[in-house]
Structure 1
Amino acid sequence: MSTPGAGRRRRHGATLYLGGSIYSRAEPFATAMLVADGTIAWLGPDAAAAGHRGDVDEVVYLAGALLAPAFVDAHVHTTATGMADVGLDLAGARSLADVLAAVRVGAPRASGGPIVGFGWDERAWSHPLRPPRRDELDQAAGGAVVFLDRADAHGSAVSTALLEAYPHIRDRAGYDDSGWLTGPAHHAARAAVYDALPGDLRREVQRSVRAQAAAQGIGSMHEMGGSSLAGARDLVALLDLAAAEPGPQVLGYWADGAHRSSLPDPRIRGRAGDLFADGTMGSHTAALREDYSDLPGARGRCEVTAGAVRDHVLACSGAGLQAGYHVIGDEAIDTVLAGFDEAADTIGEAAVRAGHHRLEHVELVRPEHIGVMARLGLTASVQPRFDEFWGGPEGMYAARLGGRWRLMNPLAAMQAAGVGVALGSDSPVTPLGPWQAVQAAAWHHEPAHRLSVRAAFAAHTRGGWRAAGQLAGGVLAVGETATFAVWQAGELQVQAPDARVSAWSTDPRSGTPGLPDLTPGADPPVCLRTVVAGHVVHDRADILDREGSR
């Protein structure tokens, strides 16, 4: 604990927080925190805070609330998330007829623009269990451009008008004349639709999603851009918005292996993110060693070679950029890791580790994969709610993989081996919701893969900063940037669902910081305030008690 008042000077933008539970390993018994000039200036007990009260702009009375590091969502698609809110929400559709009815209703609202929908999943439908055909979409939409993104964002149903507007889509792998698109054809259609969005609509949805994230205690978002995603215009617009307006920090990634072309913006951290090594389980496009259980003869397709991965890693390492891939199936993971190993043979393992490279999703992981990832310092950027939505013996993964579903998302094994783990949502594939992601990691369908709540929280806070190659961030300690959230959370506890937490760590005398009760069915915490680098970006003024001090 630092000494209050020592060497004191008038601080600009200073706020004193009192009477809370401060989640700090540096000061585990702290109940008060001082923020000044965008950094944490002091931590300690309320009784020692009196010397700061006259020197701050605001005093906030936490009344027992939890003050903890803000979350980092390590995998987000901001504009797609916003469009899922303002377009057609098809997640509740229970039949093909439901989808077509939604398109008919949405056509007049589109006012001649594209009809964009998201979230449909034919597995939940009554028969027929198939995507909408383009002739059906043409009729329902009155000939308008229609793009309906499947729930996993790796397949889409499109109309004839879209194909006529963007004829190059017909020449891409994954094109089917029915209007069902996967792989490169789907990516090309999505990129075309999002690149053509009006600028005012793009700003509106990006601003809305940043506000939603702030209201959920998210202080930083890793935006996954790319030429086969929403395009350069979209990523640059989001980076500009984040620089101009308060809100969660945005770290941009560009999924493009064309190293002879320049990056669309110097602020981009890496040629990483959703650079597709394969597709998804839901669309039967993840690359597998063995056939899909529900589609004999099909194994998906790996979109890269080990040599291409090697060259990509070497180019990124030489340019000081993070490299990475979207990789889900075990065959694709084999190929990507072989490429990283070949790069290490060229420049040395230490140089590869220094690049802080990352793999997105990395789901069907074999034990031998984990050792390679740990040895080369690769971060696993994972989405625990994938297991919540699609795991278990009756889930989609079991339908696609049979007994191999138990290998999916081995979070505990990766973390135990020393692989850096960062949590994210892949929104809009799963919703923004960091506490829900922590809960999903702690209650994984496969008990052996579960993390403790504390470990999952660390992966969703500090782990996100590490995934971006930043060693600072994600902790509350004097001198750290003041990026945190305040939560109304009820009684705090040290919690693990399977008794792997030692008894000493649950004893209050150990000083182990407590977290909200995340038992399934418990009320989720409510975010009262989010602060990013000292700036308040979300505030529940109706709940938090505060006063001006000077």
Structure 2
Amino acid sequence: MYADIVFTGGTVRNGDASVHDALAVTDGRISGLGAEALVARGPRTTVVDLAGGALLPAFGDGHVHPVLGGLGLRGVPVRECASVEEIVEAVRRWAGEHPEAEWITGGGFDPWLAPDGRFDARWLDAAVSDRPVVLRTSDHHTAWVNSEALRSAAYTAATPDPAGGEIVRRNGSAEPLGTLREFGALNPVLALAPKPSREAHVGALREACARFAASGVTWVQDALVEPHHADAWVTAATTGPGLPVRADLCFLLEPDGWRERIARFAADRERVESGAPGVLTARSVKFFADGVIESGTAALLEPYTDCPHSHGIATWTPGELAEAVTAVDTLGFRPHLHAIGDGAVRAALDAIEAAARTNGPRDRRPVIAHAELIDPADLPRFTELGVIANLQPLWAQCDPLMSELILPRIGPERGGRQYQIATLLAAGARVSFGSDWPVTSHEPLRGIATAVTRQTPDGTPTGGWLPEERIDTLTALAAYSTGCADQAFEEKEWGALRPGMRADLVHLAADPIGTAPSDLAHLPVLGTWLAGRRTHDAGAPDGSCAGRR
């Protein structure tokens, strides 16, 4: 039987240290390696010349926000702004070009552009004063709003901080400054803005997933799914050209009314999985255990260095988090917990342990995402409880976010044990990588470069930040492939290149193992295949190739 596709002319890297010179694909699955693949060429076989490059298992992304990121591409373009003044000018310009917009929104700007991350509504008022403006920082845990947005939400000096949020005040006053931290404060404002249509959600997903495919990604964990997002996913997956990635949807569960919401999860899962079988699963439930360190909202075991009376914001009480995690575990869902501070990581581990104790042993693969700061006593618990640490390697650098906001808030001792990728791996923990896009870039090769070097793009500091936590390129590649396949419960299906496995493949311009670590971030992705269907072709006019083999 002849193969449908044969790849040759480069290095075929299985996902471990072994290599071959060819790979064959038949009916969407790997059917041969090396000499066996070469003899499978027939008159109708498509031969792909790797041109001296490398074929590897395609990447996954274990924590990403396709809907949020796709919609964010349509607002005020502030991501590349390098100053408050540039953001204000971008808002002024966009508002003038869109007089019909009732609200002006955008996101992705750097939270360190204002001193201590405190943004003033009056700065935005100078650009737009008659319509609400809401801009979210790159971490999406903080919003900068103008006075009209504060008025619309009835935020005044008399408004108390809501549960799970902070209305930042002017120095020496109770008046709202214009900076809102965490979802308890953000959501009442965001709820007032006009909602994007179903068509806008579907379009956002298509645009986001095309970007993933162009980066070599074939599977994503959508880490925050609301009910209307699930419908958009099914529509995008089953209409038009379909999607170039598979996805697992992670239903959001918040403390308010969680018992009523959880009662609908089983029906939501059935609607998703029956609506797009083989493309979408819905196995996970998302919890926010805390916020982020740069805003002082991550939950810490010991107080913040710059604010000795504050431990941050724990979104759930430990007892209720354990109860809710146990409840979703009972229904067969896998908990996926955002936990940044060491206090939140401990609460997440305690909740996972409580669920296992109550419901008995089984293959759960719970996920703790980010795990930026882990108390030494909790490190071995990841292995003991079978927790997958989903880490964002692009964060493991000493950029201005780290040097200007994070390190001053937690001090040198805690600052020296952040993003312990190598330590977790050495302890036997399961590790997968993700981007958290649109918080940071969705391109796996950029994350891999940072995990290997622990340096900023300009190569600082020499030798890397916390260099003992660097990992080698092969290990970093595995975290984005086999690690994500493990997280997806599909390690027998993809994440490595073995006969019988799905042909989820990425073609890179050179072998990453022989590429200088500083060059990994810029290694071109020449092609991506999902079960043998080509989803990205760098040689096509627009880089896409929907429906092509």
Q: TM-score range by the shorter chain?
A: 0.7 to 0.9
2:447 corresponds to: 437
1:185 corresponds to: 184
Distance 2:420 2:401 in 1: 13
Deviations along 1:274-295, one digit per CA (max 9) or x if unpaired, are: x211000111100112222233
Mapped pair 1:426 → 2:414: no
> One-letter code of the match for 1:100?
V
Q: CA deviation at 1:50?
A: 4.9
Deviations along 1:425-475, one digit per CA (max 9) or x if unpaired, are: 111111111011111112232122122211111011110111123332200
Distance 1:92 1:21 in 2: 37
Mapped pair 1:199 → 2:198: yes
Change over 3 Å in CA distance of 1:265–1:112 after alignment to 2: farther
> One-letter code of the match for 1:54?
G
Deviations along 1:314-362, one digit per CA (max 9) or x if unpaired, are: 22222111012110111112222222223333234x23xx211111111
Contact map agreement 2:29 2:503 (CA 8 A) in 1? yes
Mapped pair 1:482 → 2:482: no
1:106 corresponds to: 94
Secondary structure at the aligned position of 1:54 is classed as coil
Secondary structure at the aligned position of 1:20 is classed as strand
Select the residue among 155, 161, 164 that pairs with 2:142.
155
Distance 1:272 1:50 in 2: 44
> One-letter code of the match for 2:331?
A
2:252 corresponds to: 255
Select the residue among 21, 39, 43 that pairs with 2:33.
43
Q: CA deviation at 1:160?
A: 4.7
Q: CA deviation at 1:72?
A: 0.5
Distance 1:381 1:179 in 2: 33
Mapped pair 1:15 → 2:5: yes
Tell me whether 184-193 or 152-161 shows the greater mean CA deviation: 184-193
Q: CA deviation at 1:184?
A: 2.9
Tell me whether 133-142 or 438-447 shows the greater mean CA deviation: 133-142
Tell me whether 87-96 or 408-417 shows the greater mean CA deviation: 87-96
1:374 corresponds to: 383
Change over 3 Å in CA distance of 1:42–1:168 after alignment to 2: farther
Change over 3 Å in CA distance of 1:75–1:516 after alignment to 2: farther
Q: CA deviation at 1:191?
A: 5.5
Q: CA deviation at 1:194?
A: 8.0
> One-letter code of the match for 1:197?
P
| TM-score for both structures, normalised by structure 2 | 0.83
Mapped pair 1:278 → 2:266: no
2:485 corresponds to: 465
Change over 3 Å in CA distance of 1:359–1:105 after alignment to 2: same
Distance 1:522 1:469 in 2: 28
| TM-score for both structures, normalised by structure 1 | 0.83
Distance 2:489 2:84 in 1: 45
Cα RMSD after superposing both structures: 2.8
Deviations along 1:217-252, one digit per CA (max 9) or x if unpaired, are: 1111111124xxxx3213431343134413121221
Select the residue among 367, 371, 377 that pairs with 1:362.
371
Secondary structure at the aligned position of 2:349 is classed as helix
Distance 2:19 2:199 in 1: 48
Contact map agreement 1:305 1:336 (CA 8 A) in 2? no
> One-letter code of the match for 1:369?
D
Select the residue among 531, 534, 549 that pairs with 2:532.
534
2:354 corresponds to: 342
Secondary structure at the aligned position of 2:326 is classed as helix
Change over 3 Å in CA distance of 1:366–1:59 after alignment to 2: same
1:405 corresponds to: 415
> One-letter code of the match for 2:282?
R
Distance 1:115 1:55 in 2: 57
Contact map agreement 2:420 2:469 (CA 8 A) in 1? yes
2:85 corresponds to: 97
Distance 2:430 2:42 in 1: 43
Change over 3 Å in CA distance of 1:202–1:406 after alignment to 2: same
Secondary structure at the aligned position of 2:205 is classed as helix
Mapped pair 1:119 → 2:108: yes
Tell me whether 14-23 or 234-243 shows the greater mean CA deviation: 234-243
1:3 corresponds to: none
Contact map agreement 1:83 1:116 (CA 8 A) in 2? no
Secondary structure at the aligned position of 1:178 is classed as strand
Tell me whether 309-318 or 407-416 shows the greater mean CA deviation: 309-318
Deviations along 1:347-388, one digit per CA (max 9) or x if unpaired, are: 34x23xx21111111110122212111111011111011122
Change over 3 Å in CA distance of 1:24–1:93 after alignment to 2: closer
Q: CA deviation at 1:129?
A: 5.5
Change over 3 Å in CA distance of 1:199–1:193 after alignment to 2: farther
Identity, % of aligned positions: 26
Change over 3 Å in CA distance of 1:130–1:402 after alignment to 2: closer
Distance 2:537 2:97 in 1: 33
Structure 1 residues without counterparts, runs of 5 or longer:
1-7, 493-513, 545-550
Structure 2 residues without counterparts, runs of 5 or longer:
168-175, 273-280, 455-464, 544-549
Change over 3 Å in CA distance of 1:100–1:284 after alignment to 2: same
Distance 1:90 1:292 in 2: 30
Change over 3 Å in CA distance of 1:281–1:25 after alignment to 2: closer
Q: CA deviation at 1:62?
A: 1.5
Contact map agreement 1:383 1:437 (CA 8 A) in 2? yes
Tell me whether 180-189 or 468-477 shows the greater mean CA deviation: 180-189
Change over 3 Å in CA distance of 1:224–1:130 after alignment to 2: closer
Contact map agreement 1:439 1:518 (CA 8 A) in 2? no
Change over 3 Å in CA distance of 1:389–1:119 after alignment to 2: farther
Distance 1:25 1:98 in 2: 44
Distance 1:80 1:246 in 2: 17
Distance 2:64 2:109 in 1: 19
Change over 3 Å in CA distance of 1:521–1:541 after alignment to 2: closer
Secondary structure at the aligned position of 2:251 is classed as strand
1:525 corresponds to: 523
1:237 corresponds to: 232
Secondary structure at the aligned position of 2:293 is classed as coil
Change over 3 Å in CA distance of 1:156–1:105 after alignment to 2: same
Select the residue among 312, 315, 323 that pairs with 1:311.
323
Distance 1:378 1:397 in 2: 26
Secondary structure at the aligned position of 2:500 is classed as coil
Secondary structure at the aligned position of 2:407 is classed as helix
Distance 2:406 2:166 in 1: 25
Tell me whether 278-287 or 395-404 shows the greater mean CA deviation: 395-404
Tell me whether 167-176 or 31-40 shows the greater mean CA deviation: 167-176
Tell me whether 404-413 or 77-86 shows the greater mean CA deviation: 77-86
> One-letter code of the match for 1:517?
T
